[in-house]
Amino acid sequence: SQQGEEDPQALSIQEGENATMNCSYKTSINNLQWYRQNSGRGLVHLILIRSNEREKHSGRLRVTLDTSKKSSSLLITASRAADTASYFCATGAGETSGSRLTFGEGTQLTVNP
Amino acid sequence: NAGVTQTPKFRVLKTGQSMTLLCAQDMNHEYMYWYRQDPGMGLRLIHYSVGEGTTAKGEVPDGYNVSRLKKQNFLLGLESAAPSQTSVYFCASNLAGGPIQYFGAGTRLSVL
């Protein structure tokens, strides 16, 4: 069964607006990551947040983690048409699990020019 | 700077045929993974390997076999393909202890 559930499944916004995607998970984690997938391509790592962190920034990306609620959010500010892609959260239990990741079902983001 | 390379990119099989998907990485990563991606279901782990000569089952291993004879290669085999194995298959790799995985471009497989 999937560890993560993402919300919304699809999101359509105008260029310049902010996009927020949410991820919930079920078991304890070592880290949570967000990946991006352009249509027909492989996944590319965006940002990682560890279980003892609450917020992390990278360029136009902001990730928050609430371990008490077992949830995370990804905020993309000032979106661009090139941000159109699917975004996946992935949870990791750490080295003891062979660094395996469990992926959510993804959010399809469309940024209209 | 190839990273993770998957071959073939596309394949059509008939039910009952066999095939092998090849994943090669040039980053000297210890760990390698095979996932399948189906619409609305995200990525599910099929098998993984934490080193040359070792493999382990993931979430959905039935109907697949794997081998890791060389550190840089991870093979995924379908002995008798079924329509339920129609999917997009992704290979990934990472350093031992490193949480970030690096993905190939995928293999789109259709089983008729």
Interface residue B3 vs chain A (CB under 8 A): no
- Number of neighbouring beta carbons within 10 Å of residue B54: 11
**pLDDT value for B10:** 97
Q: How far is A2 from chain B (nearest CA, A)?
A: 8
Taking 50 as the threshold, does the pLDDT of residue B107 lie above it? yes
Q: Counting Cβ atoms within 10 Å, is residue A53 exposed (0-12), middle (13-18) or buried (19+)?
A: middle
pLDDT tier, B41 (very low <50, low <70, confident <90, very high otherwise): confident
pLDDT tier, B96 (very low <50, low <70, confident <90, very high otherwise): confident
Q: How far is B43 from chain A (nearest CA, A)?
A: 6
- DSSP label at A96? G
CB contact under 8 A, A45 and B100: yes
How far apart are the C-alpha atoms of B60 and B45, rounded to whole Å? 6
pLDDT tier, B57 (very low <50, low <70, confident <90, very high otherwise): very high
Give the distance, in angstroms, between the CA of residue B36 and the centroid of all CA atoms in the same chain.
8
Query: What does R_g of chain B's alpha carbons equal in angstroms?
Result: 13
Contacts across the A-B interface (CB distance below 8 Å): 65
How far apart are the C-alpha atoms of B9 and A65, rounded to whole Å? 36
| Phi, psi of A81, deg, nearest 5 | -55, -35
Cβ atoms of A106 and A86 within 8 Å: the answer is: yes
| B99: nearest CB among A2, A99, A105 | A99
| B99: nearest CB among A9, A33, A41 | A33
* Angle subtended at Cα B19 by Cα B15 and Cα B75, rounded to the nearest 5 degrees: 140
Question: Which residue has 């085999």 as its token pair?
Answer: B77
**pLDDT value for A1:** 43
Residue of A nearest to B47 (CA): A100
Q: Which of residues 17-76 of B touch A (CB under 8 A)?
A: 31, 33, 35, 40-45, 48, 50, 56, 58-59
Weakly modelled stretches of chain A, pLDDT under 50: 1-2
Residue A16: left (phi > 0), alpha (psi -120 to 50), or beta? left
CB contact under 8 A, A30 and B41: no
How far apart are the C-alpha atoms of B55 and B107, rounded to whole Å? 21
